[in-house]
Structure 1
Amino acid sequence: MRIVLVGPPGAGKGTQAAFLAKNLDIPHISTGDLFRANISQGTELGLKAKAFMDAGDLVPDEVTIGMAKDRMEQPDAVNGFLLDGFPRNVAQAEALDEALKAEDMQLDAVLDLEVPEDEVVKRIAGRRICRNDSAHVFHVTYNAPKTEGVCDVCGGELFQREDDSEETVRRRLEVYHKQTEPIIDYYRAQGLVATISALGKVDEVTARAMEALKK
């Protein structure tokens, strides 16, 4: 299956993508992984992306699209893939359609993870990270430390990352609504969208997604 996963920040796309890719035995292709792999390997596209990033500029669509196209052509993606974080806008969605059409392929489904905006803010703004080890992550509501502000694992100080502040989260949501959300209508016109609630436990959301894909 060839699937696009879309949803606002804090919807749990990365978590769901990993579970779904494993259940469907297809590669999970995320924008972040594409950039890291191309930059670390020193590919032509990676060097281009790094130049824009080092200058503090956004990486142009054509560079991101090129990376995604290269990745989708790898042997492990022959039976499908799950795209997470791409496409980010309608222009990228149109380019993806063209790239797939050129290979006589098409998408099978677009999973839209739906989460109320206030819940997104609550999920992200409530995160607290250990200063000693960023792998130690807590949440003031869902996974609170035994002692407020103190890591249960190593006793380090817990802090809120700047990009996890409520103000920043709401700005990220504005960008999502303006740039990425329109792709849902774009794909809905093609009859590809399945909207599922991303509330509840991880396995419950995965089960809803798998059920939607069966249909």
Structure 2
Amino acid sequence: MRLLIMGPQGVGKGTQAALLSKHYNIPAISTGDIFRFNIKNKTPLGLEALEYINKGELVPDELTNKIVKDRLAQDDAKNGWILDGYPRNASQVEALDAMLADLGTPLDAVVALTADHDVLMDRMMKRAQLEGRSDDNPEAIAKRLDVYAKETAPLLDTYKSRGLLHEFNGVGEIDDIQATIIKGLGE
């Protein structure tokens, strides 16, 4: 099973990716984790990414695409994966399509989690309090949700037109959401 998990920050993508990873016995791959691994292990791609990060710049799509492709080609991803945090824009969708064609591994489904804006704001403010995250202040949260709405949410239409999109409510009991996703994916 090769899945994308998409939705705005705070909707529960990471939680559901981890649960689905265990259920399907495939790795949950977050782009943030990939970057941290490559930087920590001082890989050539990690060192290149670090140059941008140290300048406070976003890592360019071209480099992000290389890092994702490298990760999807690793042995533990041969039987499938759940990709969280990628693609984030139309350019990355095209790159992912090319990667999957090169690897001979088509995408099986896109899981999109949804929640109302107010619920997301509330969740992320609580997370900020629990985890002491300085990047989770109301202004930063609102900006990230706005970027998602403008750049990433439109990608859902692309996957819908391909017949790959499965949308689920990200509000409720975690186990109930997981069960609904698994049932919706045909298990």
Structures share fold, TM-score greater than 0.5:
yes
- Give matches, 1:42-53, under 5 Å: 42-53=42-53
- Give matches, 1:9-158, under 5 Å: 9-127=9-127, 129=129, 137=130
| Shift of residue 161, structure 1, vs aligned partner | 3.8
1:34-93 deviation line (CA, Å, top 9, x unaligned):
001111111111111000000111101111111111111111111100000111111111
Which structure would you say has the larger Rg? 1
1:178 corresponds to? 150
Gaps of 5+ in 1: 130-136, 139-159
1:145-188 deviation line (CA, Å, top 9, x unaligned):
xxxxxxxxxxxxxxx64322222211111011111111111111
2:138 corresponds to? 166
Equivalent AA in structure 1 for residue 93 of structure 2: A
Which is richer in helix?
Answer: 2
| Shift of residue 206, structure 1, vs aligned partner | 0.6
After TM superposition, what 4+ stretches of structure 1 lie above 4 angstroms from structure 2? none
1:127–1:79 CA distance, 2 compared to 1 (3 A): closer
Q: Distance between the aligned counterparts of 1:164 and 1:91, measured in 2?
A: 27
| Shift of residue 212, structure 1, vs aligned partner | 1.3
Equivalent AA in structure 2 for residue 192 of structure 1: L
Q: Which has the higher contact order (CA 8 A, sep 6+)?
A: 2
Whether 1:208 and 2:180 are equivalent positions in the alignment is yes
What is the percentage of aligned positions where both structures have the same residue?
45
Partner of 1:199, secondary structure, is coil
Q: Distance between the aligned counterparts of 1:48 and 1:34, measured in 2?
A: 13
1:188 corresponds to? 160
Partner of 1:162, secondary structure, is coil
